[in-house]
Amino acid sequence: MEILFLGTGAGVPAKSRNVTSIALKLLAERNSVWLFDCGESTQQQILHTTLKPRKIDKIFITHLHGDHIFGLPGLISSRSFQGGETPLSIYGPKGIKNFILTSLKVSGTHLKFQLKFIEIVEAGVIFEDAQFKVSCLPLEHGIESFGYRIEETDHQGSLQVEKLKKLGVPFGPLYGKLKNGEIISLADGRTVNGKDYIGETQKGRIVTILGDTKKTENSLLLAKNADVLIHESTFEGADQKMARDYNHSTNVDAAQIAKKANVKKLFLTHISARYLGKEVLELEKEAQQHFQQTSVAKDFLEFTIPLDK
């Protein structure tokens, strides 16, 4: 489970930062990639990575501002040209379906795969299977904007192989039954309960990815106990009033949410082009005064989310 930042800038592309797009790589878990927002030139950014567009099977859009959606028509078209034939599900605010279908129709684009649209009509769980649950809540941005919480199902503990060897359990199919928690019988008449030889359950990981927003209680709810929180940071702390006026957050806002929500790691993104070089470092340092485990994301930064041991 890895996060790859494809674009970390705000508003318009800049030399050092493209506009917003974040990939959640679930290759080990389900051999797929989930994309969160798709700003202009996202597919160009992908060319500098090992990502394969055909692996993207879900795209979650936080809101319909151009710097978060203008890359969608091109990426969807390229996915078809590059061998993508499996369905692609797109989640987002009402209007995302019309935007994409109109773009494809006007450009005469024909896809080799099925597009599925899930336009969000109410907060709550929007996707769930045996591995993951994705829920959303509205944020405050002057336009409908959502934050997403991705929760992984807990992992079953590992089979305690060394203990079983000492018991004299022969390696083979019996180990599979024990792993499933079954009771087996040995040749000498002893019985072994698999449940007694499975380690502690590993807590599933939680990732929270927020759309553009000013500081809000829903951000806190979405981020509670998350392993990773990705929060916009369009302004520095001194520009709090400007951030509120433009329905955005400061680095201090994000850090305060992270601390109060008890997250493990905070990444600041959606960085305004006004901040360059040392100024970006100052954004990070200021946020760290409120929440130490803060980093400013940069394009192509990758972060592996570890399982608790």
Pick the CATH number of 2-155+204-304 from 3.20.19.10, 3.10.620.30, 3.40.640.10, 3.60.15.10: 3.60.15.10
| Strand extents, DSSP E, the chain | 2-7, 21-26, 32-36, 56-60, 88-93, 115-120, 124-128, 132-138, 146-152, 183-185, 191-193, 206-210, 228-232, 265-269, 294-296, 302-304
pLDDT in tens, 254-291: 999 999 999 999 999 999 998 988 999 999 999 999 99
Element (H, E) at 165: helix 161-167
**Across residues 77-96, what is the average pLDDT?**
94
Q: Quick one: pLDDT band at residue 201, thresholds 50, 70, 90?
A: confident
How far is the C-alpha of 39 from the C-alpha of 8, rounded, in Å? 10
Residues noted as catalytic: 67
How far is the C-alpha of 35 from the C-alpha of 37, rounded, in Å? 6
Say what the pLDDT of residue 82 is: 85
pLDDT at 95 over 80: yes
Amino acid at 93: P
Say what the pLDDT of residue 104 is: 97
Say what the pLDDT of residue 309 is: 59
Domain boundaries, the chain: 2-155+204-304, 161-197
How far is the C-alpha of 266 from the C-alpha of 297, rounded, in Å? 9
pLDDT at 294 over 80: yes
Say what the pLDDT of residue 243 is: 93
How far is the C-alpha of 208 from the C-alpha of 226, rounded, in Å? 7
